[in-house]
Structures are given as structure tokens and as C-alpha cells.
Amino acid sequence: MKGSFRYAVALVLLCALLGIAAPGRATAQEAKKAKAAPKVERPDDAEEEIVKFYREFDPMRIEELDRIKRENPKEAENVIAEWHREMKKLEEIKREAPEEFARVKKERKADNECWEMGKQLREEKDEAKKKEIEDALRKKLGDVLDARLKQQRREIEEVKKHLAELEKRAEKMEKNRDKMIEHKLNRLAGEQDDLEW
């Protein structure tokens, strides 16, 4: 159970990170979905919950939500519902795998710092300061990428291990196919199995 949970957590996180790692882009993707999708039902207190959660986990999300609410309140309803579902998944990870949650939180913080540095780079007029920001951003992006690569290598190893276990189980089932069929047949027929004691 614990191994399958970790595997599920890894898959959920991978999907979540691909879709929400960059706050600006993630919101744009969610906004496009929200425009095309019908209104999604959400709990009445969903907005309060996500504001409280994301204020700690990803403060840039709060700013983005405020912008969406100003520009398109109907779209905001769908974004709130989507973020609420994501928040519930993250809360489960926080309960079940706190070290994984801490890693994701750290990665999200680094993403936000990169977005802020990118904003500073675009707005800076002084070429010397611009070069400093660019160098710092390049280093930060390298650190973020290295951390992601390290995590992906861990996930690949977990998937390989899981695959090896499945392969071993499948080989055992193939080897014992006839015995397994007879055992199951006897149980379904209500007959006593010679192997049971």
C-alpha cells in the first residue's frame, strides 16, 4: 500500500508540476480551460480555503486570482474550483508524505523567484543592473532545473523498481498458470484445496 501510494503521489506531482509549475503560465492554461469549460461546481468556502492555503504555499497565486477576478469573474469561479481540487491533493500529500510536500513547496518557491527575477529583468533599464539580474536568474534557473532533473531521476528509479516487481510477478504467474487456475477453480467450486492447511 505504501509503495503504491508513493507511486501515485509521484505521478500526481509530476502531472501537477507540469501543469502548474510556472504560476503565470499555469494560470493562462487554466484560464483557457475555464473559458471553454462549463461552470464547475465548488464548495461555498473554496475561495477562503485556497486563499489561506496558497498564501503560505504559493503567494503569487493569490495575486493571480485577484487579477482574474477583476478581469473575468465567471472565469475566476472555474479557476477557484480547479485550484481547490489541486489544494485538496496537495493537502493529502502534506499529510501522507510531508517530505515530498516540502520538496514541492521549495520547488514552487524557486519557480516564483524566477518569475519575479524575470519581471525585474524586463523592467530594468540600467544595462549593468540588467546584466546582474540576468546572471542571477541564469544561476537560479540552473538550480531549479538541476533539482527537477534530480527528482525525475528518483521518479524514474521508482518506476523502474515498480516495473521490475510487476515483471517478476507476471513471470511467477506465467510459471504457475495452471496451478493458479486449478486453485481458483477449486475455491470457486467450494472444494477443499490440497495446498491449504
Q: pLDDT tens digits for the chain (197 residues)? A: 444 445 444 444 444 444 444 334 344 444 455 455 445 556 677 888 888 888 888 888 888 889 999 999 888 888 888 988 989 999 999 999 999 999 988 998 999 899 999 999 999 999 999 999 999 999 999 999 999 999 999 999 999 999 999 999 999 999 999 999 998 998 899 887 555 54
* Euclidean distance between CA atoms 46 and 80, whole angstroms: 7
User: Cell 537560479 maps to which residue?
Assistant: 140
Read off the pTM.
0.58
Q: Residue 88: CA atoms inside 13 Å, Cβ hemisphere, count?
A: 9
* Residue spans per domain, the chain: 2-174
